[in-house]
Amino acid sequence: TPTTNSPIIRPINRGVVHRICAGQVILDLSSAVKELVENSLDAGATSIEIALKEYGEEWFQVIDNGCGISPNNFKVLALKHHTSKLADFPDLQSLTTFGFRGEALSSLCALGNLTVETRTGNETVATHLTFDHSGLLTAEKKTARQIGTTVTVKKLFSNLPVRNKEFKRNIRKEYGKLISLLHAYALIAKGVRLVCSNTTGKNLKSVVLKTQGSGSLKDNIITVFGMNTFSCLEPVTIFMSDSCKVEGFLSKPGQGSGRNLGDRQYFFVNGRPVDMPKVGKLVNELYKGANSRQYPIAIMNFIVPTRTCDVNVTPDKRKIFFSDECSILQALRDGLRQIYSPNNISYSVNEVE
């Protein structure tokens, strides 16, 4: 009820602020694992293993063979807004890394129990690090490990009651979403071996994704979806301006995926997996001109100058702003129309032959 007296404005306790903000960066299982996989890619890893216990409900772990973390970074590793990737605001315009805000590890500390094992090329032994909920380093011990980093998160969301309940109730759904997201990274990452496994019960381990780390998008599609699916796709390049183009693979006119809307549709901007609802809608709409019974599979990477797009739009970095969205969409529409217009039948016939 409104009071007539003006209430006192007070600062929120810092730990509480941290937990509230962390809950916006780490929304669910897939955004948590996404951050760790992106850190491994930023560290130059060529092999990334994702291990889950009970679909991620108990713990999850990302193991890489990247550059490792040097001992003088241990204390600041999980502190909020501490990063090796961005120093000043203009750096945002020429960003080439997935991370830049130094929020993931600190958020994961706030929402679960974080440990890190790491070793760089300069060390002969690795170090096991334990952090508390505020991101402070609380224990450090030597251990054996190859060069690289393992980050483990136990009991995610155990201190956000509402989220925790939802997390446990929807764990299979969260897990499904994660696998689909990992497909996106498996498709776009060239020369990176990706393995994901889940262990249930005492020791029932099943491998749910395994790629060899081939060098091309084509080979990655074949590994992830199989040759049959690949043979229903055609390569597409659409130039949207002198400096912008989209490259990828789309279903051939008569050979859509036939499943649900949005199924196997992956969009990337400069190799970063993102959500592009407007592009998805456009692709589906124009595909209808060629095939009204099915939806297309779409794997499309937008290659644009980094200064023309902003990924710092939402805390989970899945949304993107283009400085010239209208003309990008218009050029895409024109390009797709050429591919899928019903008058283009000769084109699809040639494709089938």
| 100, interface contact from Mg ion, ligand ADP, none, CB < 5-8 Å by kind | ligand ADP
Residue 149 lies near ligand ADP (rule: CB under 6 A): yes
Residue 135 lies near Mg ion (rule: CB under 5 A): no
Q: Of the candidates 25, 36, 27, 41, which has an alpha carbon nearest to the alpha carbon of residue 186?
A: 41
Q: Of the candidates 257, 252, 341, 349, which has an alpha carbon nearest to the alpha carbon of residue 294?
A: 257
| 77, interface contact from Mg ion, ligand ADP, none, CB < 5-8 Å by kind | ligand ADP
Tell me whether residue 23 or residue 99 sits nearer to Mg ion (CB atom).
99
* Contact (CB, 8 A) for 333 and 282: yes
Tell me whether residue 264 or residue 317 sits nearer to ligand ADP (CB atom).
317
Q: Of the candidates 32, 59, 33, which has an alpha carbon nearest to the alpha carbon of residue 48?
A: 33
Scanning 2-10, 78-86, 223-231, 334-342 for contacts with ligand ADP by CB under 6 A, the matching segment is: 78-86
Residue 111 lies near ligand ADP (rule: CB under 6 A): no
CB of 102 to Mg ion, least distance (A): 7
Q: Could you tell me the two tokens for 324?
A: 């010239």
What is the C-alpha separation between 161 and 157, in angstroms, rounded? 7
CB of 151 to ligand ADP, least distance (A): 6
Tokens 């992106």, residue?
38
Residue 104 lies near Mg ion (rule: CB under 5 A): yes
Size of the site for ligand ADP (CB under 6 A): 22
CB of 114 to Mg ion, least distance (A): 13
Q: What is the DSSP string of 77-145?
A: TTSTT--SS--SGGGGGG--SS--SS-HHHHHHHHSEEEEEEE-TT-SSEEEEEE-TTS-EEEEEEE--
Residue 102 lies near ligand ADP (rule: CB under 6 A): yes
Residue 346: CB atoms within 10 Å:
8
Residue 77 lies near ligand ADP (rule: CB under 6 A): yes
Q: Where along the sequence are the contacts to Mg ion (CB under 5 A)?
A: 39, 99, 104
